[in-house]
Amino acid sequence: MELFDKLYDEHEKAKVRFIGFTTEHTRYDFGIVYTNMFFGKPLVICMQTGRSTLLDPKDIEDIEYLQTVFRIADKQQAADLAEFFSGALPDIPFVTQYE
C-alpha cells in the first residue's frame, strides 16, 4: 500500500517578477509567480517575511484580507499595497475547478 496518493506533479516554466518599492512609511519586496496553476491566480510572496498568498483582482479590493495575510497593522499601508497590486497584477477571470 502506498503511503501517499499523488494529487498532481506538474512541471512548468513560470514567469516570475521580483519587485521592491517603498511607500511613505514602509518598504516592500515581493516575488510574483505567474503560472497556469492555481486557477490562474498569481502567487505573491513577501520576500521579507515569507508570507504568501494567491491574489486576483477581487482579493486586492479586500483591504482586511491583505492586512491579515501580510500581517499589516495599519489600514492605510494595506490600502497602499492594494493600489500597487491593482497595477502590478493582471486582470484575469477567476476559473473554477468544478464547472
> Which triple of cell numbers denotes residue 44?
505573491
Phi/psi of residue 9, nearest 5 degrees: -155, 85
Over residues 3-21, mean pLDDT: 89
- What's this model's pTM, rounded to 2 decimal places? 0.81
The CA distance from 75 to 89, in Å, is 20
Q: Name residue, grid cell 506538474.
A: 10
Phi/psi of residue 57, nearest 5 degrees: -55, -35
- pLDDT, one tens digit per residue, over 33-85 is 988 888 888 999 999 999 999 998 889 999 999 999 999 999 999 999 999 99
Confidence bin at 1 (pLDDT 50/70/90): low
Nearest to 67 by CA among 56, 87, 53, 47: 53
